[in-house]
Amino acid sequence: MGERCFTATKAPTCARQFATPPPPHHHITDQVLALTIENTSSLSMSGIPPSNALYPIYEVTLTAEMGVYLKSMDPQAEARSELIVAMSDCSPAEVVGFVHYLPLRGSADACGVTYIAVAQHARRQGVARALMDEVRKAYPHIGLSCPIEKVEIFEKLGLQVVGANHNHVEMNTDEEPTPGAIGVLDVEPLFHSPEVLDLQAKLVMKHKRSGLKQAQQELARLYHRDCSRVASFVQDRKAT
């Protein structure tokens, strides 16, 4: 396939899907990782704000997770991984958005979107819609989870609220999620990597252990607050 291109005024024209080895070229992966860093708050399941002292750790681990996915684009792999990127029409080598997703085991036409991000300067130009449309061509049944604040966006892209997933809203192209499982990564080891441990030591020096403990408590309060909000939101949606 070709590459999907965008300008501020022109609709997208094509797309490239990376679903088989070798992994995407480094000039693609580097930009995907940069977009991941840029969107850490919205992509992280924790929804951690940049003001939180632990933010650098989540930034590093999220980027490391994406890096592992980018290196595992083997259709025979247990955790099969696929990616579609959107390229700028003004600067053909520039990635302005991406969607990463994992096919469901036991279902040939369903997948779970793990991450989707669009560069700040390329938003409101149809990039996210074009990326999701490309995914839908191969997988008409799509599921994902997102914060309440993004529900309206994904509803406009053809998904609907189907349930709650802790602090995220479960959404799907169907009224009921397609049965199956996706081979997600176990990210816990990433939090114990040498890079993260070194970063943690630097954060301790900067914020003291008491400061990091406070940051963790703030994150826990945010999580429980959002879990409650999501439960109420989904209940209200199902009641209407």
pLDDT digits (tens, 9 = 90+) for 125-139: 899 999 999 999 999
Task: Give a yes or no: residue 103 inside a domain.
Answer: yes
pTM over the 0.75 mark:
yes
Residue 230 lies in a domain: no
Q: 60 near 196, Cβ under 8 Å?
A: yes
- Burial of 17 per CB tally in 10 Å (0-12, 13-18, 19+): middle
State the pairing for strand pair 82-88/110-118. unpaired
The tally of domains found in the chain comes to 1
**Residue range 96-124, pLDDT digits in tens:** 999 999 988 888 899 999 999 999 999 99
Parent domain of 65: 4-135+186-225
Q: How far is CA 200 from CA 40, 44, 54, 220, in A?
A: 18, 18, 8, 18
In a domain, 175, yes or no: no
* 18-73 residue pLDDT tens: 444 455 778 889 999 999 999 999 999 999 999 999 999 999 999 999 998 888 77
The verdict on residue 97 lying in a domain is yes
Residue 17 falls within a domain, yes or no? yes
CATH number at residue 114: 3.40.630
Q: Is residue 170 part of a domain?
A: no
The answer to whether position 30 is within a domain reads: yes
Q: Residue 235 falls within a domain, yes or no? A: no
